Amino acid sequence: MDAVRIVLQVLLVLSSLVLTLFILLHKGKGGGLSDMFGGGMSTSLGGSSVAERNLDRFTVAVALIWATAIIGLGLLARFAS
């Protein structure tokens, strides 16, 4: 059980850092940090660009990994003897 707990903790830390980075890269109303990396240059008449949609998908995937790691750690703490 200690190996599973360590894996989940490492996964939680890594996914937290990546999730923070992905959230900061999103284009907000003012542009945010995404303007620093060229994200503010894209304009599309139909809504968001392909890069923004992919960033949304990656953010959701990492958020699911993050939530799964938290739930797993909670279950381990709850049912560990």
pLDDT digits (tens, 9 = 90+) for 4-55: 999 999 999 999 999 999 999 987 766 556 566 665 555 554 556 888 899 9
Q: What is the pLDDT of residue 24?
A: 93
Q: What is the pLDDT of residue 48?
A: 67
Residue 3 confidence (pLDDT) above 80: yes
Measured CA to CA in angstroms, residue 81 lies from 3, 29, 76, 78 at distances of: 15, 49, 9, 9
Q: What is the pLDDT of residue 26?
A: 85
Measured CA to CA in angstroms, residue 37 lies from 47, 66, 74, 77, 81 at distances of: 20, 25, 37, 41, 49
Q: What is the pLDDT of residue 11?
A: 97
- The domain locations on the chain are 2-79
Q: What is the pLDDT of residue 36?
A: 65
